[in-house]
Amino acid sequence: MTATDTHRAIDAVFRIESARLIAGLARMMRDVGVAEELAQDAMVTALEQWPRSGVPDNPGAWLMAAAKRRAIDRLRHRRRAERKHEEIGRDLAARQEAAVAEMDAAVDDDIGDDLLRLIFTACHPVLSTEARVALTLRLVGGLTTDEIARAYLVPEATVAQRIVRAKRTLSEARVPFEVPRGAARAARLASVLEVLYLIFNEGYAATAGEDWMRPGLCEDALRVGRILAELAPDEPEVHGLVALMEIQASRSRARTGPAGEPVLLLDQDRGRWDRILIRRGLTALERAAARGGGRGPYVLQAEIAACHARAPIAADTDWVHIATLYVELSRVLPSPVVELNRAVAVAMASGPAAGLEIVDTLRSDPALASYHLLPSVRGDLLFKLGRRGEAHVEFERAAGLTRNARERDLLLARAKACGQGAGP
């Protein structure tokens, strides 16, 4: 194996093992920032030694052992320094030795609980949404700062600053490295699911830039979601989110045309949908249902996605049932965006006039003032009603609001199809 091949192997191993490595170290050190530093130190050691010695049979254990040695050195150095301060109690040494002993046993520990702790810590509500997303992709997803920056079309320095501030905030707030229990668990789990779906959605329908989709982000969110479903198997909303992401990801190949242009849902070639991902999504939905209890927002959205997945052609879609599911979703997740989606379903089930009636009640909602899909949906319904002049205005307005170049081209094309000033 050449040095280049070895470096590629090391990069691949580290991407696979980094989350487990950081998770185990964070439990020991009680600081995700320090844990990441130790993991990076182990990576540097591997880069120095593996080109000469070769990649070990169990690279994950090798990296953990290397990181553990650095952690023990750090703890012992800290202990010697702290012994100089009289205010440090006599139990310090015992606590530090206990931490070292814990590390000695950690190489063979089941890392599942530590990964779950890491996910909950990276998604802690004390952090901003942007910080939670960046830290989750960095620590759990294994992405580099540059990869995150390129995915979100922001400067690398901005992402680096977010990650540094996030780790500092967690440290200063003394956020415990734990899976919350009791009443706090539901709120914290909601934060975790929100972060994963934000990452997935940015990949599924990019908010800005030249690309309609960024599949890598979808894959990262799905990978972490699948891990979470195995670590928290009794949470129906976790399975609901995984089901939703699996089913939506199944459409990826059909969502773009030969030149990368967007292809809308009703125009997609369903023969290009990934049946394996659909089956995985429907299985996850069954797991959610098996847990019992009321259907939460992710389970309901997965049910809606499943209605599309089960229809061999667009004309077979059960829009009446989808509209009913949106009514239920609006009860558990009141939102003007949910209402806008319900309007689309009602229009498909009962005609464009019925859908337009709902859309028009949303036009004054400040939450949708700059939301490009409001005029886009309204333009579509007006076009179907033959009111092409009004539809033209709405499509142009939507094109001016979107920050995605591909979507802008689609909306301008739809405006052009209306004809300047055509219709009433």
Give the span between the Cα atoms of 137 and 129, in whole angstroms: 12
Residue 104 reports pLDDT greater than 50:
no
> 265 vs 50, 248, 256, CA distance in Å?
49, 11, 10
Q: What percentage of the chain carries pLDDT values higher than 70? A: 90
Mean pLDDT (whole number) for 197-206: 89
* Closest to 365 in 3D by CA, of 377, 374, 357: 374
Other Cβ atoms within 10 Å of 147 Cβ, number: 18
Residue 302 reports pLDDT greater than 80:
yes
Question: Is 122 within 8 Å of 132 (Cβ atoms)?
Answer: yes
Question: Is 222 within 8 Å of 245 (Cβ atoms)?
Answer: yes
Q: Which residues have C-beta within 8 Å of that of residue 128, sequence separation ≥ 6?
A: 162
- The sign of the CA dihedral 145, 146, 149, 154 is positive
Give the span between the Cα atoms of 214 and 204, in whole angstroms: 6
Residue 364 reports pLDDT greater than 50:
yes
> What pLDDT, on a 0 to 100 scale, did the predictor assign at position 373?
96
pLDDT digits (tens, 9 = 90+) for 259-291: 889 999 999 999 999 999 999 999 999 999 999
Q: Which two tokens stand for residue 178?
A: 């734990």
Q: Which two tokens stand for residue 24?
A: 């185990």
* Closest to 133 in 3D by CA, of 212, 217, 207, 68: 217
Give the span between the Cα atoms of 123 and 138, in whole angstroms: 12
Most confident of 110-119, 142-151, 377-386: 377-386
Other Cβ atoms within 10 Å of 207 Cβ, number: 13
* Closest to 391 in 3D by CA, of 400, 378, 401: 378
- The sign of the CA dihedral 132, 134, 137, 139 is negative
Residue 99 reports pLDDT greater than 60:
no
CA torsion angle for 383, 386, 390, 396 (degrees, to 10)? 30
Name which residue leads in pLDDT, 372 or 72. 372
> 166 vs 97, 128, 132, 136, 161, CA distance in Å?
29, 8, 8, 10, 8
Q: What three-state secondary structure class fits 233?
A: coil
> What pLDDT, on a 0 to 100 scale, did the predictor assign at position 271?
96
Question: Is 291 within 8 Å of 234 (Cβ atoms)?
Answer: yes
Number of continuous H segments (helices) and E segments (strands) in the chain: 19, 2
pLDDT digits (tens, 9 = 90+) for 328-361: 999 999 999 999 999 999 999 999 999 999 999 9
> What pLDDT, on a 0 to 100 scale, did the predictor assign at position 381?
98
Give the span between the Cα atoms of 22 and 139, in whole angstroms: 7
0.85 cut: is pTM over it? no
